[in-house]
Chain A
Amino acid sequence: ETGVTQSPTHLIKTRGQQVTLRCSSQSGHNTVSWYQQALGQGPQFIFQYYREEENGRGNFPPRFSGLQFPNYSSELNVNALELDDSALYLCASRWDRGTDTQYFGPGTRLTVL
C-alpha cells in the first residue's frame, strides 16, 4: 500500500463533456504529478504541482488542468473530452526533499464514448 488513493475507480463520459478526477497523496508529500497511460503504453507526464502551484507540464493542451490543496489532495480536470482521452489516469506523490521516488495510486480508468 502506497497511501495514495484515487477516485473514482472507473468513469464513462461522452465526447465534449468535462471530468474531474481526484487524488489523495501520502501524508507529508508536498509534490503530486499526474500521468496518462494509454492501453499498452507507458505513463505520460501531464503536469506536476508543488506547494499548490503547477511547476511543470508535459505535452498536453490547456484543457488539462489541475489543483492541489493544502490537505495533500489534488484534482485533474479535463474539459471538452475527446475519444483519445480514454486512458488510465495515475497520480503520484512524493516529498521533494526525499529520495525522488514517486508513489503511484491505483488509477482512474476513463472511457470517452
Chain B
Amino acid sequence: EDQVTQSPEALRLQEGESSSLNCSYTVSGLRGLFWYRQDPGKGPEFLFTLYSAGEEKEKERLKATLTKKESFLHITAPKPEDSATYLCAVQANAGGTSYGKLTFGQGTILTVHP
C-alpha cells in the first residue's frame, strides 16, 4: 500500500527565516510526486509535479526536490502570505494513463510571523 508521511506536522518561522518541509514516501512504482498548498477551508492549489529522482522545480520562494525515498519543499525567505498547509501526494504507476489516484500525506502547517 502506498504511504506518504510529512514532517514536521507544524512549523513556525519568522519572516525571512528559510527552512524545509519533508515528504517521505513508499509507492509501488512512482508515476509522479505532487506538492499542493491549501488555505483553510479551501481546495488544494497545485504547486509542483516531480517525476524522477534528481528533479528540481522552483516557483518564487519555493523549490521542490525529489530523491528515491523523499521529497523536500524548500522555502527561502518566507513571507506571512506563505502561511498555509502544504500537502504532498504520490501517484503510482498503474499500467494505464487513466488511473490517477493520489495518496496524500497529512500535511505540514506552516505559519510565518512578520
Contacts and interface: CB of A to CB of B under 8 A. Distances in A.
Bin the interface of chain A by size. 20 to 34
Interface string B73-114: 000000000000001010100100111111111110000000
B54 interface: no
B91 A100 contact: yes
Interface of B: 4, 31-32, 34, 36, 41-46, 49, 87, 89, 91, 94, 97-107
A56 interface: yes
Interface of A: 2, 4, 6, 31, 33, 35, 40-45, 48, 50, 55-56, 58, 88, 90, 92, 94, 96-97, 99-107, 109
A42 B45 contact: no
7 contacts: A2-B45, A4-B43, A55-B98, A56-B94, A88-B41, A107-B41, A107-B43
Nearest to B97: A96
